[in-house]
Structure 1
Amino acid sequence: MKMIWVVLMVLGFALTSAIAEGFSHSVTNEKKPWTTDAFEGDVQKFTFAIHSDLTGGERPQVFEIAMAQLALLGPEFVISVGDLIEGGGTRDELIAQWQSFDQRAAKVGVPMFYVGGNHDLSSALERDVWEDRYGPHYYHFRYKDVLFLVLDTEDLSQTRRDTIATQRAEAVEIYKTVGPEAFAKTPYAKSQERVTGAISDQQGAYFVDAIAQNKDVRHVFVFTHKPAWNADETRFHDIEAALADIPYTVFNGHEHFYKHQSRFGRDYIQLATTGGKQFPELGMSEDHVVLVTVAGTEVSIATLMLSGIRDRTGHIPLDGEGVCFAVGSCK
């Protein structure tokens, strides 16, 4: 009888260890002062972070603070939604801008995946500098059976790109010297590419094939700077069709205010800013980051305002208490 009791005890201990590996306690009572010891312990569970636009007149300190805050939160990697530099200027000026971004982004201490925006990839020169430093303008990767698609919404023909680049340079100068109302009347501001961007046939086919080769994934995350789906005709619709039978989530930036919509039963989330110019009259235009956790087939998305992420002393990192993260609310 004693031997049976010992065997049952051993089996019970083994079962408990399997359920709660690495967990031990001092409580001998049948009742326990906690809810459960069935910890997830899922090797497939992971968390990544997303940051948004820096540009249109980057506001000092914000991005640096965001990187320090993300380092506190400890995601496995960080990905953007584009507009990482102001763009424009000579090759040397563009390189200097990218060096500044790279140095500041490195402070997060985990892999950083870049997404190109119109400030990063509008002109032929900007695209050349990107290629020299980072390679392709669009790409995909797979992590723990989750697929990530990184699009380029500045994928125009060379002729159209030259035209848009000229219009954009003129429009930016008008914005700086005359103001936003005059900017809104420029050919660039009124162009379809300014609003939804462009995706080439080649890029569309690339992502349709990537999806076909990864049908077994748990989830797909799509990152695009501009909301390409709002165009009447776009290769993005081909990508959506290819994703019809797979759970997916889309993130974009560009407009500098937060917006959530449901499209085909999926979340399409437009991020606001992480240091870029804000437009509070358009909606929630505040500095934030997003934390995404994937556990099994479940996806949890948390929007975290920079003003609320504090270190162990109760302060915003890098003496950030004096920084304005929501222009519409600051004096």
Structure 2
Amino acid sequence: MKSLLFASTLAVMLPSLGAADGSDPKPWTHQNFDADPGKFTFAIHADLTGGERPGIFATAMAQLNLLRPDFVISVGDLIEGGEIQRDQFEAEWEAYDNRVRSFPGPIFYVGGNHDLSTDLSREVWAERYGPTYYHFRYKNVLFLVLDTEDTSPADRVEIAKARAKAIMIYQSDGPEAFAQTEYANLAHRTAGTIGDDQRNYFLEAIEHNTDVRWTFLFLHKPAWQHRVKTPFASIEAALSERPYTVFNGHVQAYGHEVRNGRDYVQLATTGGEQFPDLGLSEDHVTLVTMTNTGPNIANLMLSGIRDKTGAIPRDGGDLCFSVERCGDDQ
């Protein structure tokens, strides 16, 4: 700003150096700064479980501290979870909480199947964090956080039984046999479940927030991939007359599709197990800049976010951010 003031003063003091019509040459393009009060940025981190690779997520948090978005939100699978005891759940959540605590802005949690698939895991979540689905507004933008593990207690028991059996088959007979199991072919495993109460909650939230300029949805599993109409279809229908963007995780390979004329973005990993056979499977964070004309979405690979010394924080130069390129033994 001081340089611009100096240049303006100089032009006034030495008018003979500029054009007579006031169109003086200047060493800048214009003075319309990209600083609208409605502009903001937030970051999204992807799955870090399914066999978390050490060091990756801690490095990502250090990098987010360099980027300093207004807040960070996830797409679920924040802990390994699964069929474990209460004290293990508590310890895993405490570890995640400690790792995100260094970020100066808010961190918004989204639950995945590792986080919310059992009665016990949901009980622990409720005690620590309250609701598994919720919404909030920020700078006239609506954020919807969904729970794709919203099954009945009876269904959770049956899914757990099918999963345990499928894992035994995987361990004894390999992935091809696993692919033929009941669990591997469950619609819930791929696209999750959203119950009627949750649908009604979001329909009400959408109805009460008609004045927002954009809506973002965050969910772990791609709920729109069911072959039959589900409660999520009602949420999409309620948003059909307004602009929105959807982010999900779960597959742990990056994807993008245009559905209903809107962007549906699937994040890959931020430390979780990678599956390069499914597509781009590399550690990254997503930076979203909200503007007056809509969001700009940039995917930042962890291997390229460096500090002022030119190094990846927390000795990240020794880490493997893409198993496909550097091998899963690093």
TM-score by length of 1: 0.90
Q: CA deviation at 1:106?
A: 1.4
Q: Tell me the equivalent position of 1:291.
A: 287
Alignment of 1:53-92 (within 5 A): 53-88=47-82, 89-92=84-87
Q: CA deviation at 1:110?
A: 1.8
Distance (whole Å) between structure 1 residues aligned to residue 267 and residue 43 of structure 2: 12
Residue 156 (str. 1) matches residue 136 (str. 2): no
CA deviations over 1:166-223 (Å, ceiling 9, x no partner): 2223434554665433432332221110000001011111111100100110100000
Residue 184 (str. 1) matches residue 176 (str. 2): no
Q: Which amino acid aligns with 2:40?
A: F
Q: CA deviation at 1:37?
A: 1.1
Q: Which amino acid aligns with 1:290?
A: T
Q: Tell me the equivalent position of 1:15.
A: none
Alignment of 1:78-227 (within 5 A): 78-88=72-82, 89-172=84-167, 174-175=169-170, 179-227=174-222
Instruction: Please state whether the residue corresponding to 1:99 is helix, strand or coil.
Output: helix
Instruction: Please state whether the residue corresponding to 1:132 is helix, strand or coil.
Output: helix
Q: Which amino acid aligns with 2:86?
A: R
User: How many residues are paired up?
Assistant: 311
Q: Tell me the equivalent position of 1:51.
A: 45
Distance (whole Å) between structure 2 residues aligned to residue 310 and residue 245 of structure 1: 41
Q: 1:289 to 1:175 in 2, by over 3 A?
A: farther
CA deviations over 1:212-243 (Å, ceiling 9, x no partner): 10011010000010000011221110000000
Instruction: Please state whether the residue corresponding to 1:55 is helix, strand or coil.
Output: coil
4+ runs deviating over 6 angstroms: none
> Bigger CA drift: 50-59 or 27-36?
27-36
Q: CA deviation at 1:38?
A: 1.3
Which structure 1 residue ranges, 5 or more long, are not aligned? 1-19
Instruction: Please state whether the residue corresponding to 1:284 is helix, strand or coil.
Output: coil
Instruction: Please state whether the residue corresponding to 1:147 is helix, strand or coil.
Output: strand
Q: Which amino acid aligns with 2:65?
A: A
Distance (whole Å) between structure 1 residues aligned to residue 248 and residue 77 of structure 2: 11
Distance (whole Å) between structure 2 residues aligned to residue 173 and residue 64 of structure 1: 32
Distance (whole Å) between structure 2 residues aligned to residue 217 and residue 23 of structure 1: 38
Q: 1:173 to 1:87 in 2, by over 3 A?
A: farther
Residue pair 1:219, 1:297 contacting (<8 A) in 2 also: no
Distance (whole Å) between structure 1 residues aligned to residue 196 and residue 99 of structure 2: 35
Instruction: Please state whether the residue corresponding to 2:317 is helix, strand or coil.
Output: helix
Q: Tell me the equivalent position of 2:315.
A: 319
Instruction: Please state whether the residue corresponding to 1:107 is helix, strand or coil.
Output: coil
Q: CA deviation at 1:165?
A: 2.0
Percent of pairs with identical residues: 59
Q: 1:169 to 1:96 in 2, by over 3 A?
A: farther
Q: 1:294 to 1:261 in 2, by over 3 A?
A: same
Q: Which amino acid aligns with 1:223?
A: F
